[in-house]
């Protein structure tokens, strides 16, 4: 239980009743629906949906396989490029990627081909007897992967596929990273993240060690000395601060911490739920937080952002989800002060209206207050400085608060690579983290082979 919320009440509904609020956001296609939808695809020769896919899935090919009743072929084609294609089909913002690029996405058609749902259909209905990929002959090399999130898991799988042994060091009790701890419960249901991890590990050659924290009981210099290479898939583990007095008061916390608690809860009725809640932020995490606290029984949830709707990093699709769940959305308002009651607990927040002045955001001096029993900040994550605190790790170059890597995901420390949300290029998408891990694995493998040849 999150200590800062223990003064709040529990939901009035039972666990079973609350569970009904966290079923699939988008129900899967049945066989007939998949057949109809796959028939809409034009199987473009130079398919724009494939060109925009961060993990380079051959979209037209897998949809044609579905149309031809070759579900296993469709699934293997997806997994060849994206071993976490199942979770990506559920959480990937297809509305701004493949489906946005679909040639059917015009006024005459009304909507693009449902690529995300077709991808899910293929992977949910495949009937493979064994793991679809076999390991190459052993290279005799072992690589350390730090972090069992999408980037680390993808890297580990591709390295194992190429004949290397891998040891993953993961701080949490479970593998999966954000898929396990940070995605809205209604997007990844029925313990899907763990099922996908189990499938991925089925290739063999991968050992996962939990409770291993870089900068804590694991040091980069030791991994560098012990293994043939090291991949850092650290993610962004530190929540950014508002920088306001009262930020440590009971009732104010990071949205990702609550989402993690929610996803790991065996009994949703035991969670603490405010009657009135404020969510500060503009990304998908902010929307996930606002919608979930509303579904748990909060009476009034307000999402507040300092700029306008068009500047929100949450897609319009996500914004519509928030509106459909009665989340109030206030824009052009910046947090100014945390309001506390007589017991020092959060009772609201003061905001200042904002405007753009010659392209720069500025306050107007006009303020307003919103009452709340809890405030959840979803203003972004940053790299946890403690993870790169040992002498070797501290020499890794940064781009702002992220790790600097070259085009092959090499850091400035020879033999150390990085990918996923913790590196500078990218949009902090699960599908992009998977691609980083895959490409980094190929680079690590090639670099190791070159060392062997040089020797």
3-state secondary structure 151-180: HHHHHHHHHHHCCCEEEEEECCCCCCCHHH
pLDDT of the residue at 455: 58
> What is the distance, to the nearest Å, from the Cα of residue 44 to the centroid of all Cα atoms in its chain?
30
Which class does domain 3-22+239-380 fall in? alpha beta
What's the mean pLDDT in 412-424?
Answer: 94
User: For 412, which DSSP code?
Assistant: S
CA–CA distance, 80 with 131 (Å, rounded to integer): 12
- Radius of gyration in angstroms for the set of CA atoms belonging to the chain, rounded to a whole number: 23
Q: What percent of the chain has pLDDT over 70?
A: 98
CATH topology for 142-237+383-454? FAD/NAD(P)-binding domain (3.50.50)
Give the C-alpha separation, 182 to 258, whole Å: 9
What is the pLDDT confidence band of residue 389, given thresholds at 50, 70 and 90? Answer: confident
Q: Which one is predicted more confidently, 409 or 451?
A: 409
Instruction: Say if residue 172's pLDDT is above 80.
Output: yes
Query: Comparing 252 with 399, which gets the higher pLDDT?
Result: 252
| Segment 333-350 mean pLDDT | 97
Interval 48-64 mean pLDDT = 96
- Per-residue pLDDT band for 294 (boundaries 50, 70, 90) equals very high
Helices 71-81, 115-124: axis angle to 10 degrees equals 110
Residue with tokens 């293994």: 227
Looking at residue 11, its pLDDT comes to 95
Centre a 10 Å sphere on the Cβ of residue 102 and count the other Cβ atoms it contains.
25
Residue 87 · residue 179 · CB < 8 Å = yes
Mean pLDDT value across residues 59-68:
97
Q: How do the domains of the chain map onto residue ranges?
A: 3-22+239-380, 41-124, 142-237+383-454
pLDDT band at 133 (very low <50, low <70, confident <90, very high): very high
Strands, sheet with 346-357, edge to edge from the N-terminal-most edge strand? 333-340, 346-357, 360-371
Whether 128 contacts 72, CB under 8 Å: yes
Q: pLDDT at residue 145 above 70?
A: yes
* pLDDT tens digits, 311-331: 999 999 999 999 999 999 999
pLDDT at 274 over 80: yes
Please, what's the largest Cα pairwise distance for the chain?
71
- Asked whether the domain spanning 142-237+383-454 has the same topology as the one spanning 3-22+239-380, the reply is yes
pLDDT tens, position by position, 25-34: 889 999 999 9
Q: Which two tokens stand for residue 296?
A: 């748990």
- In the CATH scheme, what architecture does the domain 41-124 have? Orthogonal Bundle (1.10)
Q: How far is CA 154 from the centre of its chain?
A: 14
pLDDT band (50, 70, 90) for residue 388: confident
Residue from 47, 113, 126, 45 nearest 85 by CA: 126
Task: Please report which confidence band the pLDDT of residue 112 belongs to, taking 50, 70 and 90 as the band edges.
Answer: very high
Each residue of 200-216: pLDDT tens digit? 999 999 999 999 999 99
């Amino acid at each position: 239980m999150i200590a800062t919320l223990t003064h709040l009440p529990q939901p009035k509904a039972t666990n079973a009743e609350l569970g009904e609020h966290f079923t699939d956001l988008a129900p899967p296609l049945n066989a007939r629906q998949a057949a109809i939808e796959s028939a809409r695809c034009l199987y473009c020769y130079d398919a724009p949906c494939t060109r925009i896919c961060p993990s380079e899935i051959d979209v037209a090919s897998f949809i044609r396989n579905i149309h031809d009743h070759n579900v296993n072929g469709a699934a293997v084609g997806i997994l060849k490029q994206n071993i976490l294609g199942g979770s990506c089909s559920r959480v990937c913002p297809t509305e701004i990627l493949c489906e946005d690029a679909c040639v059917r996405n015009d006024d005459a058609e009304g909507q693009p081909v449902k690529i995300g749902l077709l991808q899910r259909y293929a992977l949910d209905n495949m009937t493979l007897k064994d793991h679809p990929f076999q390991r190459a002959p052993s290279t005799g090399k072992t690589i350390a992967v730090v972090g069992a999130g999408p980037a680390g898991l993808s890297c580990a799988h591709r390295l194992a596929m190429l004949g290397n042994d891998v040891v993953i060091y993961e701080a949490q009790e479970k593998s999966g990273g954000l898929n396990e701890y940070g995605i809205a419960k209604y997007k990844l249901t029925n313990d899907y993240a763990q099922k996908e991890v189990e499938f991925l590990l089925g290739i063999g050659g991968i050992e996962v060690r939990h409770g291993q924290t870089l900068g804590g009981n694991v040091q980069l210099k030791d991994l560098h000395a012990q293994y043939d290479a090291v991949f850092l898939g650290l993610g962004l583990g530190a929540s950014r601060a508002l920088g306001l007095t009262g930020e440590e008061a009971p009732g104010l916390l990071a949205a990702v911490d609550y989402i993690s608690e929610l996803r790991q809860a065996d009994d949703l009725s035991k969670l603490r739920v405010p009657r009135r809640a404020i969510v500060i932020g503009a990304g998908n995490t902010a929307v996930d937080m606002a919608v979930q606290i509303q579904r748990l029984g909060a009476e009034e949830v307000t999402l507040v952002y300092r700029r306008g709707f068009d500047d929100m990093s949450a897609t319009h699709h996500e914004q519509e989800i928030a509106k459909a769940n009665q989340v109030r959305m206030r824009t052009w308002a910046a947090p100014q002060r945390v309001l506390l009651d007589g017991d020092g607990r959060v009772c609201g927040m003061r905001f200042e209206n904002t405007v753009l002045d010659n392209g720069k955001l500025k306050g107007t001096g006009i303020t307003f207050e919103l009452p709340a029993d809890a405030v959840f900040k979803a203003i972004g994550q940053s790299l946890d400085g403690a993870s790169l605190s040992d002498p070797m790790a501290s020499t890794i170059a940064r781009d702002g608060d992220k790790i600097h890597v070259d085009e092959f995901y090499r850091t400035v420390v020879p033999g150390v690579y990085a990918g996923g949300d913790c590196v500078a290029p990218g949009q902090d998408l699960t599908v992009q983290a998977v691609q980083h891990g895959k490409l980094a694995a190929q680079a690590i493998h090639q670099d190791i082979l070159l060392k062997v040849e040089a020797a």
